[in-house]
Copies of this chain bind each other. A is one copy, B any other.
Amino acid sequence: MSEKTISKAVIKRLPRYYRYLGELRLQGVKRISSGELSDQMQVTASQIRQDLNNFGGFGQQGYGYNVSFLFDEIGKILGVDTRKNIIVMGAGNMGQALTKYTNFRSYGFDIIGIFDVDPNLVGRQVNGIYIQELRDVKMFVESHHVDIAVLAVPKEAANTTAEHLVELGIKAFWNFAYTDLQLGPDVVVENVHLLDSLLSLSYGIKNHSNQNPVL
């Protein structure tokens, strides 16, 4: 399997395939044709075949895809087979909501620490995890294996916080702060810019009558 040649566009679609295959597996579906998957995902069957062909011969003419096998293989490509430790920076609304989101655990993600500067928050528990002082993050990172830092701090604090964590060796950030991070090329950042998303929806409302839905 030559993962290196997979295009960015395909990779962006992988989590969605993973989600649909996971649902099918839960429903007890053993195999599915690209046509059936196409109906459910509202993607053309040929796109599905092309995308999944990147990962070798999962599909067989006249048989379709083995749901469970394909689910596992895509899971491996996404790294779900390796558990990852997460710390959450910022115990405000979003930081606490994410820490309480137990669903992540079943996909291999464990939140092991949460940090804030607010003395009113430090010492409280969120989902069984004590909120620690921000200044203690260095000690924590040095004594725990941390794969991902969630940035749920105000945008003004986001870059400084991230740079500090990069110095401590953290190379992956899930960024909820409403700003883009300026970090080095060896750092991976995935942004969740909620307001960008809400503004896209707002644009959609205004311009929907002009659009020709393609389906």
Query: Interface of A with B (CB < 8 Å)?
Result: 3-4, 11-12, 14-16, 18-19, 23, 41-42, 77-80, 82, 84, 93-94, 96-98, 100-101, 103-104, 107-109, 147-148, 171-174, 178-180, 185-186, 188, 190, 192-208, 210, 213, 215
Q: Which residues on the B side are within 8 Å of A78 (C-beta)?
A: 199, 202-203, 206
Q: How many copies does the complex hold?
A: 2
CB-based contact B193/A15 at 8 Å: yes
Q: Which residues on the B side are within 8 Å of A194 (C-beta)?
A: 98, 101, 192
With known contacts A194-B192, A207-B3, A201–B174 Cβ distance under 8 A: yes
In the A-B complex, the 3 residue pairs with the closest CB atoms: A97-B97, A15-B196, A185-B213
Provide the main secondary structure of the chain A interface.
Answer: helix
Q: Which residues on the B side are within 8 Å of A197 (C-beta)?
A: 15, 174, 190, 192
Bound: A77/B101 CA distance, A: 35
**Could you write out 22 A-B pairs with CB less than 8 Å apart?**
A15-B197, A15-B200, A16-B193, A16-B196, A19-B178, A23-B179, A79-B202, A79-B206, A80-B199, A84-B205, A97-B97, A98-B194, A101-B194, A104-B195, A107-B199, A109-B198, A148-B201, A173-B201, A174-B197, A186-B208, A190-B197, A190-B200
Bound: A55/B82 CA distance, A: 47
Bound: A104/B172 CA distance, A: 27
CB-based contact A198/B174 at 8 Å: yes
